[in-house]
Amino acid sequence: MELFKTGDWNLKADKIAFQSTEKNAAKKVKKEQRKKKIKERKDAQIKQAQEEDSEESFSDDEIETIPVVTEQKVTKKKQPVATKPAIALQAKRKLTPLQQKMMAKLSGSRFRWINEQLYTISSEDALELIKSQPELFDEYHDGFRSQVLTWPENPIDVFIDQIQTRLKRNINAPGGLPGLPHSRKLIIADMGCGEATLALKVNNFFKQNKRLKKKIEYKVHSFDLKRVNERITVADIKNVPLPDESCSIVVFCLALMGTNFLDFIKEAYRILTPRGEIWIAEIKSRFADGKGDEFVNALKLLGFFHKNTDDSNKMFTRFEFFKPPEDILKERIAKLERRQKFIEVQTEKEQLETKRKKAAEGKWLLKPCIYKRR
């Protein structure tokens, strides 16, 4: 058998066969173990998905009636099963690119419909709509957040930056923020606040600046159609639960949505203290005259003095007005009387109200912001 001996190798057929069988058996065991682990992992995933869906599909009362299964003893009593198969659950969690695109289109269509409703009905009707269908508010703001992501700048951030910058000066000082006349409290009313982002960021700013917080007493009131968090008070913003002359700043950030939005401006005038300011941001395409001059004139007729217009942004125009104190108001009236224009101004006010009675200002002063249907 010298033929099968080569150096240190001893190639015997029985030994080779035995070693080969041993290796194949080991491979087979490993393969079976791997299959078993994969199967156990899949079973665990399916079981978890079924449990999650069971929790979603049943009320608290129904869940309480399910018998408890312990590790020691497993009862054979019937338990509620998921109404949807595991495959459907996985499809729900992991949509294909095509499904994601279709869902996005459906969400976009829903957002456009809700948006159109809010722009083309009165604030009173809008409040009733959201009270009867509160989910519409959430759907609208989901779509709104998606829109904001495409904007070069969010106007609410501009207002927040303005607050932080002007707080470097004293309240009621030149260049500083307006406060209440005697207490110098900074009281802001955010009308149509959405998710009350302004209140959140202002609060965070004061928390980070403890010295400023000790120095300045402040409060941010946030009003909208639904209370999605603790910062918000539900109200029709033509009639908010605040006393006369109790605020120093009123903010309307893309919030002049109802057909009766001049009622919101009148409410802002009521709650503002003399020398208090009103800040407005609106989409440029809404202005019927293309520039916003007619809009500015309408607010002047309602008693505000125009302070500033910023149209540097491609999408939005920002306005600042202030409520004149009594001494400035008397001086203004005296000037108009000397120029024999006081009667003209009063006539213009009457004409504005007459025009509003014939057609809501949401149809001619600010056009509704309606997205194109696709």
Domain 93-148 has CATH 3.10.450.50: no
Does residue 29 carry a pLDDT above 60? yes
Residue 90, pLDDT > 70, answer no
- How much is the pLDDT for 44? 63
* pLDDT of res. 252: 98
Say what the pTM is: 0.71
Higher pLDDT, 175 or 9: 175
Domain ranges for the chain: 93-148, 155-363
Phi-psi region of 220 (alpha: psi -120 to 50; beta: other; left: phi over 0): beta
What is the number of other CB atoms lying within 10 angstroms of the CB of residue 299?
19
Using CA atoms, how far residue 343 sits from 240, 298, 348, in Å, is 32, 16, 9
d(C-alpha 249, C-alpha 323), whole Å = 10
* Mean pLDDT estimate for the chain: 81
Place 257 in a pLDDT band, splitting at 50, 70 and 90. very high
Higher-confidence residue of 212 and 1: namely 212
91-95, 141-145, 161-165, 263-267: the lowest-pLDDT one: 91-95
Look at 80 and 155; give whichever has higher pLDDT.
Answer: 155
Residue 280 pLDDT grade (very low, low, confident, very high; cuts 50, 70, 90): very high
- pLDDT grade for 310, boundaries at 50, 70 and 90: very high
Check residue 66 and give its pLDDT. 33
Alpha carbon dihedral 36, 40, 43, 47, in 10-degree steps, equals: 170
pLDDT at 41: 64
Residue pair 110/139 in contact (Cβ under 8 Å)? The answer is: yes
- pLDDT score at 55: 39
How far apart are alpha carbons 145 and 347 in whole angstroms?
43
**Shortest CA distance to 115 belongs to which of 374, 369, 372?**
369
In the predicted structure, residue 88 carries a pLDDT above the cut 50: no
How much is the pLDDT for 313? 92
CATH class of 155-363: alpha beta
Beta-strand (E) ranges in the chain? 5-6, 9-10, 186-191, 218-224, 232-234, 247-253, 272-283, 305-310, 316-322
* Residues 318-345 pLDDT 10s: 999 999 999 998 888 888 777 777 677 7
Cβ atoms of residues 257 and 231 within 8 Å: no
Confidence of residue 110 (pLDDT cuts 50, 70, 90): confident
